[in-house]
Amino acid sequence: MMTDTTRRTFVTGATITAGAVAVTAANAATQSGGGPAATTPAAAAYPKPPYPVQRQPWPGLASKMTPRPDHGETSYKGSGKLAGKKALITGGDSGIGRAAAIAYAREGADVAINYLPSEEPDAREVIALIRAEERKAVAIPGDLRDERFCRRLVQQASEQLGGLDILINNAARQQTRPGIADISSQDFDDTMKTNVYAPFWLTRAALERMGAGAVIVNTSSEQAGNPSPDIVDYALTRAAVLNFTKSMAKQLASRGIRVNAVAPGPFWTPLQVSGGATPEKLRSFGGDSPMARAGQPAEIAALYVAAADPSLSYSTGQIFGSTGGNGQPA
């Protein structure tokens, strides 16, 4: 629903074409005697604060962000880790979900993405990128706050993909509020329904169709262990997802189904520019991390691959963190 055409990568303070970055990375590899360019360009090529202050209506579009996020459109190189797998990714139109969708397709998986109808422009780009890898791509828009839709989503994804091996519960809602008195009951309900109820509903429905070897990957956050004061409702949902992951891993181990989580730190996605951060926080977003910048979605995609990689069959109930140096989230 949220947070994944041709995308661009960036240099500090300015946007340049992704092709130029790819060429630069390739040249650097050649000059150093290395092989092909790395999956992501050199970290030094990514923008650092201050970022332009901008605001979009919820849930926002990556295609309208400045600078535009790098989801690995031109850089991610797969190696068949997920060949033949069938994956459903919520929030697969933009942000981290988009990066995961691109990576999964390039690792050989067929991919269904879910997103809100207003995110259709971003979703069309992702579908084109998946199909460019000659993988099956399925677009299923809809609101995850609706339990009946969640059941239909799993059913449609499974039917159209020809099965379901991987579920990524990634979609999330985040809206900054200065104090608890500013969080309306409707706000709280919308955040809980999107971030906690939906993963529960989707997991329950998916398990009716999953067999041994299947994997569920949940997106949590560093907010689970180090919550910010202005996103109280969001932070508590990330802690809930972390515990959900660990308990379900124990429950499903006997069935041969693994459950892992990825916990991002500050990543440059539409979540931030559509109400998830104040203008002041947005401008310096990620600047207080040891890496002194926000992460780009391309930099975390490989963790979603690792979380579902069949070769890591002893890894369940694990939390894969990517926080720019802020430490393991939990």
Which residues participate in catalysis according to the annotation?
234
Three-state DSSP state, 322: strand
Residues 111 and 135: their CA atoms lie apart, in Å, by: 8
Compute the radius of gyration of the chain from its Cα atoms: 18
Tokens of 255: 């069935």
φ and ψ at residue 137, rounded to 5 degrees? -125, 130
Q: Which of 318, 262, 281, 250 is nearest to 99 (CA)?
A: 262
Q: Which of 85, 88, 114, 119 is nearest to 217 (CA)?
A: 88
Contact 46, 275 (CB under 8 A): no
Q: Which of 129, 139, 140, 138 is nearest to 298 (CA)?
A: 129
Type of residue numbered 228: S
Three-state DSSP state, 114: strand
CA distances 81 to 85, 281, 300, Å, are 9, 37, 16
Query: What are the beta bridge partners of residue 140?
Result: 114
φ and ψ at residue 64, rounded to 5 degrees? -110, 5
